[in-house]
Amino acid sequence: MDSYLFFAAFATVFLTEIIGDKALFTIGALVARFRSFPVFCGIVLAFMAKMLAAVLLGRAIAGLPAGLVAAASAFAFLTTAIVICFKKREEDSPADNTLARFWPKAMLTAFAAIFFSEWADAGQISAAMLSARHQAPLVIWFGATLALITKGTLALSLGVGLRRYLPLKVLRYGAFALCLTMSILSALRV
């Protein structure tokens, strides 16, 4: 039964999240701007926390007001856009000593961009419904979190690929524009 719930949670959350999800673009934009490992760490922690909230709150998360969810998402994207815009340029050299200081900021930015956006989205609601129905929160949390990490890894790969072929300045402006656009689109849902 547990393996069935694990695969059901993974498949349900992965499929609902991969189709038309803004986090794919957010992660791609973040990794185009920041180093990939701290972004990965930040998104993994955010995904773990969001799915923990989903399985603990069960059906209650589906009842959150749409305006509140949209406003929180808009604020998170706007904050991310501002951080990207005003962040001092990092050196292109991986041997740069500033990398150690840059790491926590990239991780925190990635965490905030994912954690504070898209609450009560299809993947989180799916995990909440599975948890409310089957009373196996740990198994559902693990399957749903792994689905989000898989999605995040795909987005990271896209962002790293872009970083190889486009200048950092272009990626920075692109990431800023994408996060600002996502903030406006989220605000319009209020």
Separation between Cα atoms, residue 147 and residue 14, nearest integer Å? 5
pLDDT over 90, % of the chain = 18
What integer is the mean pLDDT of 129-139? 82
Q: What is the chain's Cα-based Rg?
A: 17
For residue 26, the model assigns a pLDDT of: 84
Q: Terminus-to-terminus CA distance in the chain, angstroms? A: 40
What integer is the mean pLDDT of 72-92? 65
- Of residues 170 and 64, the one with the higher pLDDT is 170
CA 42, 180, 166 angle in degrees (round to 5)? 70
- Of residues 103 and 6, the one with the higher pLDDT is 6
For residue 137, pLDDT beyond 80: yes
pLDDT over 70, % of the chain = 78
pTM of the model: 0.71
Separation between Cα atoms, residue 62 and residue 15, nearest integer Å? 18
100-117 tens-digit pLDDT: 556 888 899 899 888 988
> Comparing C-alpha atoms, which of 188, 167, 49, 189 is closest to residue 110?
49
